[in-house]
Amino acid sequence: MRRAPRDTEATSRSVTRRALFMGGCMAAMVAALGARMRFIGVEQADEFRLLAEENRVSIRLIPPARGLIQDRNGKLIAGNEQNYRVVITRENAGKTDAEVEEVLNRLSHIIPMTAADLADAMKELNPRVNSAFVPITVAERLDWDDFSKVAINAPALPGVTPESGLSRLYPRDFDFAHIVGYVGPVSEKDLEELRTKQQETGESIDPLLMIPKFQIGKIGVEKWMEDTLRGTAGTKRIEVNHVGRVMRELDRAEGLKGKDLRLTIDADVQNFVQARLGEESAACVVMDVNNGDIIAAVSSPSFDPNLFVRGISSADYAALTEHDHRPLANKVVQGAYPPGSTFKMVTALSALEAGVIDENTAVHCPGYIEMGGIRFNCWKRGGHGSVNLKRGLSESCDVFFYDVGQRVGIDKMAETGRSLGLGIRHDLPMSAISEGKMPNKAWKQERYGQAWVIGDTINASIGQGYVLATPLQLAVMASRIASGKQVAPRIIHSVNDIEVPIAEGEGLGVDGSKLRAVQMGMYEVVNGPHGTGRGSRIADDTMQMCGKSGTAQVRNFSDAEKRSGATKNEALPWRLRDHALFVGFAPANAPRYAVSVVVEHGGGGSAVAGPIARDALLRALTGGIPPLTAYPADQRGTIESRMNDLRLRLPDGSQPAASKV
């Protein structure tokens, strides 16, 4: 825009006036700032110098004691033990790497430290890895002698502080590795997750997690109840002198101890079942049928979680990951298996409910059925003849269920399966909980883009094909059949002695007589004269067991193999043998506990899984080692020697050192 020079001069003068005025204001502010500097730096200096010059004030977080985890009777499962350790603070140890290394060297003459430990410590002490003021733990779990030696030699070890703290201890090591899990140092990945969470929710990250090597739950209850167990950090203000020695504590705000958890698990039953499973690759769940309390949940083989707390060696870790029985997996919730014949209760109940059969409906079993040119065999080659529901269950006649399954259809079966707890995720504080699989027509269409065919229904009716269930789900199924209520599993009994409410199970909505028909079938399985599970019956009339065995094929056999007899389990490599399953509950007349057992590649369900289920139920029912009188007379000899061989924890001091809290 064109302007006359005179106008321009005028506006320029106006800007100049205003600029000078603004300059004046700035000068006033600068003068105020300068005065403030003088006030703080010169006039108040003495006061601050006292605080800062000789003695520096420093703030340390006080890590809270982690909450304890106990079993339902108050027995300690996860506690804290006194841990003597040595920490180094870089800024006090020396200015240069050489000086720090010299300090570490001297330290390594006093306490046992390997070259690798030294290298690790140097790496951690790099100011770019951790700030120079952060105390780095260089040695842990020292005995009292070594610990005192470090304390005595403190003058020669600048920056080195002997400290005592708490570290996690699992006195019942192997028994609870999968349920309780373990703690470990906060990793970069954990922090990354927390930061994402922080950005999403605006929750700030607990400063405790910034402490190097702070221990948080990594899996299991320790992980999923982390916020409850951790507690709140306290802080203390301390005065340290110019070399970093703590002179005195100025004040302290105590943190809050983590909350104690009480589980529904009975540690002794858990231990018994763990020992009973031995080295099998197996899982077993014992559950209260009335309130869903999980009394034992065992995955075998197990591992020692204390190894992870202390820092597992790569050799030990490799041994665990490469073991073909997968000790690290929590098979109770992570293992999804074809339920095999244990699924027949679902088929039966849905058929009864749909009204397509009643208790007396009879099906003729010639040993096979043919459908679309494919032959589906019954396990009994000769056939069962005329079979009704009770006989179908007790002798596990496949043809009966092939027929009944077709009549009721997969969608109804899936509905019943879901109401019994299959194919749905049961929420427990555990990692990688599997949903299992309860297929229906829509699912197959969506998953494979194929229509459901009748052969799929036939397979599903005996728990093969697409159907998958976890041991936990099988236990829930048994509980719901036993109680007629929709019980939901519960593992946290109480937090700081405040009981976690029990999800009040609604009724299943099944007619009582129909449920009883299925229960009667399960009773016959174990107690009937031709029952497949007769070998696992309980002789004590007050504790009789109902159950159902299952043997799930892991692979399909060609006709040639079938003819040559290569399908015999003993002839197969371990990985190809059948899974052995058993579900049950007892006492038959007034059910208290349900059980599920899966032995991977164990062979026959009735021969392998049934006896384990019986032992577990008896252990839970009797509250002690099952008395021999509970077993049929002809088995007592073998049972006795087996019981004697079990490596159980003794109630006295034969366990690992009790933890000190």
Partner 1 sequence: MSFLEYRLKLAPSGIAKVFYINWALILVLTAIAAIGWLMLYSIAGGDMDTWALPQIKRFGMGLGLLFFVAFIPIWFWRSMSGVSYLVAMLLLLVVHFFGTVGMGAQRWIDLGFMRLQPSELMKVTLVMILAAYYDWLDDKKVSRPLWVVIPVALILLPTYFVLKQPNLGTSMMLVLGGAGVMFAAGVSLWYFGAVAALGGGGLAAVIMSEGTPWQVLHDYQYKRIHTFLDPSADPLGTGYNIIQAKIALGSGGWAGKGFMQGTQSRLNFLPEKHTDFIFTTLGEEFGFIGAISLLALYTLVLVFCIIAAIQNKDRFSQLLIIGVAMNFFLYLAVNLAMVMGMAPVVGVPLPLLSYGGSATLVILLAFGLVQSAIVHRPR
Spatial distance between the Cα atoms of 463 and 466, rounded to a whole number of angstroms = 8
Identified binder of partner 1 from the candidate list 114, 199, 360, 629, rule CB under 8 A: 199
Assess 1 for contact with partner 1 (CB under 8 A).
Answer: yes
Of 35-43, 364-372, 588-596, 628-636, the segment contacting partner 1 by CB under 8 A is 35-43
Q: How far is the CB of 101 from partner 1 (least distance, A)?
A: 16
Query: Residue 57 is encoded by which pair of tokens?
Result: 């004030």
Residue listed under structure tokens 């951690």: 124
What SS3 state is found at 50?
A: helix
Q: SS3 for 148-163, per residue?
A: HHHHHCHHHCCCEEEE
Q: Which stretch binds partner 1 (CB under 8 A): 14-22, 160-168, 294-302, 545-553?
A: 14-22
Considering only residues 304 through 363, tell me which ones interact with partner 1, judged by CB under 8 A. none
Backbone angles phi and psi of 119, in degrees to 5: -65, -45
- Of 38 and 425, the one with the shorter C-beta distance to partner 1 is 38
Residue 69 bridge partners (DSSP): 78, 261
Amino acid in position 261: L
How far apart are the C-alpha atoms of 474 and 344, rounded to whole Å?
12
Q: What is the distance between the alpha carbons of residues 542 and 522, in angstroms, rounded to a whole number?
A: 17
Q: Work out whether 658 is an interface residue with partner 1 (CB under 8 A).
A: no
Between 56 and 149, CB nearer to partner 1: 56
Interaction mask 88-117, partner 1, x per CB under 8 A:
---x---x----------------------
- The minimum distance between CB 17 and partner 1, in angstroms, equals 9
| Size of the residue set binding partner 1 (CB under 8 A) | 57
Nearer to partner 1, 132 or 354 (CB): 132
Looking at 148, 164, 196, 321, which residue binds partner 1 (CB under 8 A)? 196
Task: Out of 19, 156, 247, 319, point to the residue binding partner 1 (CB under 8 A).
Answer: 19
The question of whether 341 is a catalytic residue gets the answer yes
For residue 94, which amino acid is it? G
Cα–Cα distance between 284 and 343 in angstroms, integer? 17
Nearest residue to 630 (alpha-carbon basis) of 599, 598, 587, 595: 587
Stretch that binds partner 1, among 140-148, 151-159, 235-243, 264-272 (CB under 8 A): 235-243
- For position 10 contacting partner 1 by CB under 8 A, the verdict is yes
Kindly state the DSSP code that residue 68 receives in the 8-state scheme. Answer: P
d(CA 226, CA 224): 5
Looking at 30-38, 156-164, 378-386, 492-500, which segment touches partner 1 (CB under 8 A)?
A: 30-38
Backbone torsions φ then ψ of 416, nearest 5 degrees: -65, -45
* Residue 374: count of CB within 10 angstroms of its CB: 10
Instruction: Give the residue, chosen from 74, 112, 127, 637, that forms a contact with partner 1 under the rule CB under 8 A.
Output: 127
- Tell me: does residue 18 bind partner 1 (CB under 8 A): yes
How far from the centroid of its chain's Cα atoms is residue 460's Cα? 30
Nearer to partner 1, 49 or 425 (CB): 49
Residue 51 CB, shortest distance to partner 1, in Å, is: 5
Give the sheet arrangement for strand 579-586, strand by strand: 294-300, 282-288, 593-599, 579-586, 546-552
Contacting residue, 128, 189, 248, 381, with partner 1 by CB under 8 A? 128
Query: Does 243 sit near partner 1 (CB under 8 A)?
Result: no
Least CB distance to partner 1 at residue 231 (A): 17
How far apart, in whole angstroms, are the C-alpha atoms of residue 354 and residue 172? 48
The full DSSP string for 73-116 is: TS-EEEEEEEEEEEEEEHHHH-SSHHHHHHHHHHHHHHS---HH
Q: The dihedral of CA 428, 429, 434, 439: what is its sign?
A: positive
List CB contacts of 569: < 8 A, sequence separation 6 or more. Answer: 577, 578, 603, 604
Contact between 26 and partner 1 by CB under 8 A: the answer reads yes
- Among residues 167, 299, 341, 350, which one is catalytic? 341
Nearer to partner 1, 16 or 513 (CB): 16
189 binds partner 1 (CB under 8 A): no
Helix (H, G, I), strand (E, B) or coil at 642: helix
Q: Which residue's CB is nearer to partner 1, number 26 or number 566?
A: 26
Choose between 53 and 358: whose C-beta lies nearer to partner 1. 53
3-class secondary-structure state, position 526: helix
> Using the rule CB under 8 A, is 232 a contact of partner 1?
no
For residues 52 and 658, which CB has a smaller minimum distance to partner 1 in the complex? Answer: 52
Report the candidate in 457, 431, 241 with the shortest Cα–Cα distance to residue 347: 457
**Chain centre to alpha carbon of residue 137:** 28
Residue 48 or 574 having the CB closest to partner 1: 48
Using left for φ > 0, alpha for ψ between -120 and 50, and beta otherwise, residue 304 falls in beta
Q: Does 48 bind partner 1 (CB under 8 A)?
A: yes
Residues that bind partner 1 (CB under 8 A): 1-3, 5, 7-12, 14-16, 18-20, 22-23, 26-27, 29-30, 32-34, 36-38, 40-42, 44-45, 47-49, 51-53, 56-59, 91, 95, 127-128, 131-134, 196, 199, 235, 237, 242, 253
Active site residues: 341
